[in-house]
Chains A and B, each alone.
Chain A
Amino acid sequence: MWRFVVGRLLQAIPVILAVITVTFFLVRVAPGGPFDSEKAVIPEVKAALEAQYRLDLPLGQQYLAYLGDLAQGDLGPSFKYPGRSVNELIAAGLPVTAELGAYALLVAVVLGGLAGVVASLKPNSAQDYIPMSVAMIGICMPTFLLGPLLVLLFGIHLEWLPVAGWGDIPGDKILPSLTLGAAYAAYIARLSRAGMLEVMSQDYIRTARAKGLPEWQVVTRHALRGGLIPVVAFLGPAFAGLLAGSFVVETIFQIPGLGRFYVQAAFNRDYTMILGTTVFLSTLIVLFNLLSDILAAWLNPRLRAQYGEA
């Protein structure tokens, strides 16, 4: 097991390094520097600014200096918000995005798992078709369409819930969490349905029934454990997807999270901010994938054996 964990950790290092390198040089070759504004800047001021942000050094040295800063956890200053560092901006946005992501994941697992299990108990009946058709709609309808539609219905038409914001008015976290979680709820519904169907035909389920357990106990005590393994394996990729999805949801609902900062940085050509967030988010995603790989290996006794569990 340890060999597996260490091996995967070592594999993650070149990936993260590649992300940093590619992002750094992409951002540097981008046409138009951050200080090329319409207003003419006095050459001395521009030179001073460039010196402050180390833009006057040769590219190779800039890269090494950036790596040096990174090693100390310093993502550099923001170009567009003078006096604020990328670290501060990330620290401000991350808790919001993390909370949104956690609620969305909760929505996805609870709603999706429930729908999938319910559907699997009576395959090819209305109890199966209705939740699964809803799930297909959830998969096909993009977040940026579902969000506005939910706002239109519950926010504007019915006036049940606030249309924007995060933590200002009670209930304003419901619509963003639903919007972000919906697509993943749909995937989880399909995964858990398939997983449960497979498990329910196994011998040990027949044994459980034969010894006279009520059906709900057969499901909760015996079937769920095996049937939901595919869902656990899906959580890693789902997390990466949730982060990307938060770009849209945070834009729609005007939530001051990382995703919104990233999109704004992209529009403002705030290069250090783009660079910093890309490096940060990528590292987070790579590490999360790593974690879910390790978790999956640990849950699966066969894989564990393959990697020499003592």
Chain B
Amino acid sequence: MTAVNLTSVAQAEQGTSLWKDAWRRLRKNRLALFGLAVLTAFILIALLTPWLAPYAYDAQNLDLGASPPSAEHWLGTDIFGRDLLTQIMYGGRISLAVGFVATAVALVIGVTWGAVAGYVGGRVDAVMMRLVDILYALPFMIFIVLLMVVFGRNLLLLFLAIGAVEWLTMARIMRGQVQSLRQQEFVEAAVSLGLSPATIVRRHLVPNALGPIIVYTTLTIPSVMLLEAFLSFLGLGVQPPATSWGLLISYGAETMEEYPWLLIFPGAALTLTLFALNFLGDGLRDALDVRGSGD
């Protein structure tokens, strides 16, 4: 009896070992590490853009016009003679910000929704998940276009609209996790200690479901960024003078015949980021041993 207790205590003491173990496995996955490195670099660049950018965001040189890559302008300039590297750096700030903030919105809604449905169970669960099913069936791309048209094109709404769409899978995953966790003894123990359901969910259930949450967060960010770029490409997302990778690609596509670098470099920035996030997400899924679920 004591032996059993000792091992379980020892396991509990080494709570971090799961993460160490996962990190060890992740380190062996070269593609995932590459993704992590690219992502870290891009985030640092985005944070430091005001100091790193070679030119001022609004600096024009109309005499120069569109020029191919050169020693002064590494990635060339656009038709107003603005430095493309500077544009891409500032655009990346917005694209990444939309990606992270909208995913955070989706995360909060999805985790809360799924945890409540899974913990309360019964009729409440049935109604909540039925709603998720119905929302799944709605064609959201069409609805986001509609929202942008109706309420004007502002960034805050873009965050909310995208976040409101992307929480569904997260809710399903969280519910599944909570349903299996709440059968376990430590939850029973917490209940008998008199903890409130909210505390149990926050302190005991969410931390235990962290693996799948992290994996699906990593995989949600690229799909959010893609959505933003898609909307900006159609002219319904980020509006000038602000810019984003999607918007830069859309300008680049207009003039690609004469100035192909205006399309290729912003496109490469977006593709590389999506690549990095997908590889990292796949790698994390393997490292944390999360079974495939949701879609």
Contact = CB atoms under 8 A, between A and B. Distances in A.
Interface in A229-281: 237, 240, 243-244, 247-248, 251-252, 262-263, 266-267, 269, 274, 277-278, 281
Contacts of B236: 266
A237 to B, nearest CB: 8
A144 B253 contact: yes
Nearest to A29: B150
Contacts of B270: 142, 145
A161 interface: no
A193 to B, nearest CB: 14
Interface residues of A, number: 47
A59 to B, nearest CB: 15
B275 A152 contact: no
A262 B142 contact: yes
A144 B275 contact: no
Nearest to A144: B233
A150 B209 CA distance: 43
Contact of A15 (B138, B233, B246): B138
B270 to A, nearest CB: 7
Contacts of B137: 12, 15, 285-286, 289
A39 to B, nearest CB: 22
Interface stretch (A19-27, A65-73, A81-89, A111-119): A19-27
Interface stretch (A42-50, A133-141, A169-177, A298-306): A133-141
A129 to B, nearest CB: 11
Interface string A132-169: 00001101111011011101100010000000000000
B220 interface: no
A244 B142 contact: yes
Nearest to A268: B149
A30 interface: yes
Contact of B146 (A139, A145, A247, A266): A266
A96 to B, nearest CB: 18
Contacts of A41: none
Interface stretch (B41-49, B63-71, B171-179, B256-264): B256-264
A248 B145 CA distance: 12
B274 interface: yes
Contacts of B263: 145, 148-149, 152
Interface of A: 12, 14-15, 18-19, 22-23, 26-27, 29-31, 136-137, 139-142, 144-145, 147-149, 151-152, 156, 237, 240, 243-244, 247-248, 251-252, 262-263, 266-267, 269, 274, 277-278, 281-282, 285-286, 289
Given A15-B138, A285-B139, 19 more contacts: A12-B137, A18-B134, A29-B150, A136-B279, A140-B274, A142-B233, A148-B253, A148-B256, A149-B264, A152-B257, A156-B256, A156-B257, A263-B234, A266-B236, A274-B146, A274-B149, A278-B143, A282-B142, A285-B137
7 closest pairs, A vs B, by CB?
A244-B141, A148-B253, A30-B150, A140-B274, A145-B267, A144-B233, A285-B139
